[in-house]
Chains A and B, each alone.
Chain A
Amino acid sequence: KQEVTQIPAALSVPEGENLVLNCSFTDSAIYNLQWFRQDPGKGLTSLLLIQSSQREQTSGRLNASLDKSSGRSTLYIAASQPGDSATYLCAVIPGYGGATNKLIFGTGTLLAVQP
């Protein structure tokens, strides 16, 4: 059974700092991995999607990497801003053929960027 874990559960950093959020999964057989952001009282916003054949994806100040063999992904946020404060979740679609569409979510990292 695929399990997704995120460390740390909470993180507080001063504005301007670069930071890394970690995600690990127990079964390397994944179709893709996705990073989401959730603001309080809101739904999830997709940030980056990495297909199983890819090693990384970048969007603005965000960079996500994927190492399937070790079951790990990282989300790197450069020059953090108070507006980056939110809960960050990673999720995987398990399997090889992508037939399930079933996202398995981690428990999230609550990020606070202090001005």
Chain B
Amino acid sequence: DAGVIQSPRHEVTEMGQEVTLRCKPISGHNSLFWYRQTMMRGLELLIYFNNNVPIDDSGMPEDRFSAKMPNASFSTLKIQPSEPRDSAVYFCASSGWDSNNQPQHFGDGTRLSIL
């Protein structure tokens, strides 16, 4: 089992640039979650998908953030345009059927720095 794979591991870019974070969930998992972790706010859920469909995006900070899941094995989180306050570690997680009673498996995260 390869686990949840995120890329890139680190991203440094200038304010105003578009940033795309990628995630490959564990094969067979049907729920996918995007989180953001900062010192000030801790871990926050941004959006989650069930069977490739966005279920709850209430945590997405603003319209500059968008997420897609075109198929069961791939998801992207895009920030356009990026701002310094978007600097954080972004985690992707996946879980299996009946995800409320199964643990979420996390990737190692993408550390994003916006200059």
Residues of A near any B CB (own CB < 8 A): 31-32, 34, 41-46, 49, 51, 89, 91, 93, 98, 100-103, 105-108
Contacts and interface: CB of A to CB of B under 8 A. Distances in A.
Nearest to A4: B42
B43 interface: yes
A101 B55 contact: yes
Interface of B: 4, 31, 33, 42-45, 48, 50, 55-56, 91, 93, 99-109
Contacts of B50: 101
A44 B106 contact: yes
17 contacts: A31-B100, A43-B4, A43-B91, A44-B43, A45-B106, A89-B43, A91-B43, A98-B100, A98-B101, A101-B50, A101-B99, A101-B100, A102-B45, A103-B33, A103-B45, A103-B104, A106-B42
Contacts of B31: 101
Contacts of A98: 100-101
A102 B34 CA distance: 11
Nearest to A91: B43
A108 B42 contact: yes
A102 B48 contact: yes
Contacts of B100: 31-32, 93, 98, 101
Contacts of A45: 106
A108 B42 CA distance: 8
Contacts of B45: 102-103
Contacts of A107: 42
Given A101-B56, A103-B104, A44 B91 contact: yes
